[in-house]
Structure 1
Amino acid sequence: MRVAGRIRDSIEKVIEGKTDVVDSTLTVLLAEGHLLIEDVPGVGKTQLAKALARSIDCSVRRIQFTPDLLPSDVTGVSIFNQNTREFEFRPGGIFANIVVGDEINRASPKTQSALLECMEEHQVTVDNVTYQLESPFMVIATQNPIEMEGTYALPEAQRDRFMARVSVGYPPVGSEIAMLASHSAANPLDDLDPVTDAAEIRKLVGVVNQVYVADAVRRYTVALTAATRTNNELALGASPRASLHLLRAAKAHAALHGREFVLPDDVRRLTGPVLAHRLLPSASAAMHGRSVTDILETVVSAVAVPQG
């Protein structure tokens, strides 16, 4: 996974002191998932997405989600050509290998839902015609916390299509001081050159798909997601899609750490990023100040880890 190491080093030229966040981003990329980056403004959400995009020599598009953005701006639209007397399809912003959806929760739920088919089936249907999206295909969306002004909560179906959610968080003091020195004169994104291309990413995805998963690890994965569905503190548990995403992410995590097999620890470590954003606390749990993260930790700790 030397290529993954080069991508990591490239991103860390822009996002300093956030190795765990960068590793989660690479995990989602190699697991063929989509990433939701949630945090307060100004901590580098968009910089992280752009740094990954510029580190790979492939097609990249950025969509700025605003209240007046239309679904056709995302998927594309058929326009009548006066010369040929026929309708022509004009692709929208989703037609790229890496799509950066900036502040996704500032658009209306109707526009957000334009991503559903794209993210799940890697295709777009407009006027009963289906267009395939090229591989690799990854949506990296940023969003502000729902308490911020002018935001719309992502529908449950939309959140469930994101493999993982990460928070960048504030940088360590030393990294922030270094940022003042390196970022004040020029934007470090301008100096980033691609360290790999789409073809190489497809090869790495193939390597991840070959990572071995024992039956005990599969049962452990399902036991974790099933436990969220029966917990009294959760009104909405993890879906079967969440089980699939959790295992695929665990395979990518194992490959990034040089292993050809998945350990239960790979699955357990990823429960937070992969499951937390899909869960809804019950009214009683919310009244008692129990966060989804706290509830999930309780659920995970109660599930026995397979031995041997």
Structure 2
Amino acid sequence: MIPAEFDYVRVSSVAEAVQALGEAEDAKLLAGGHSLLPLMKLRLAYPETLVDIGRVEEMRGIRTEGDRLVIGAAVTHHQVAHDETVAQACGAIAHVTKTIGDPQVRHRGTHGGALAHGDAAGDLPATALALGAEFTIEGPSGRRTVPASEFFVDYLITAVGEDEVLVEVSWPLLAAGTRWNYQKFTRVKQDWAIVGALAVITGNGSIDQARIGLTHMGTVPVRPTGVEEALSGVAADDAGAIAAACESAAEGTSPPDDLNADAAFRAHLARVLTRRAVTSALA
């Protein structure tokens, strides 16, 4: 559990971070470290240089801009979970963030780090896909914005290049009356989700729109559009129609087989947890 030797560079701006990444042959960004350091200790990752962005102030703010909530990539999970602006603008993010790990992880782990890591078992990637988050990335050629639908490329691979930095994440403001719920099944309370399901619902009396995000049902987060379409127009108290709509939650997914669960069990969990999330949100 001892990592390979590495050089350490602390930067004070995004521009310095981009420059440091470009100058090193094999460099990784370090913020909270809860995703990277375990991999390094297991020798599954062995970068030659760590670029510490933990003190870059331009990556630490939370603000609203027009109809979007903008969260800096270096903001900790604890800050997101308890920030009043987040709670009022897009409370679903705070709701999901409170389920991440344990207090120690939430105090050190960062909003951008959890998303840039690109783990399909993480809670925030599925949330970003369901809500339509946008990612601001800076590299040698300047800044660009990538929608969540294009951000998650494959297992632990995102649109952030080796010489680029995820600067901030932009989320849509949720309309008044929007309801949400996140359900996840774990072996132990603070572990990675074996499967998770987020439901974000709008409508009064009946469902006008449902947005669903699934965790750990493939190499990237999944949005089961068939369920969303089936839920449109369903009465909020029609438990039978809701259950029927959620039966297609696992269609088109490719859940992994591992020591924790096989694909068939994960497909079952996806259906059950999606129904629970929708029902709990409506309640």
Q: Shared fold by TM > 0.5?
A: no
Larger strand fraction of residues: 2
TM-score after normalising by structure 1: 0.27
TM-score after normalising by structure 2: 0.29
Larger radius of gyration: 1
Larger RCO of the pair (alpha carbons < 8 Å, separation 6+): 1
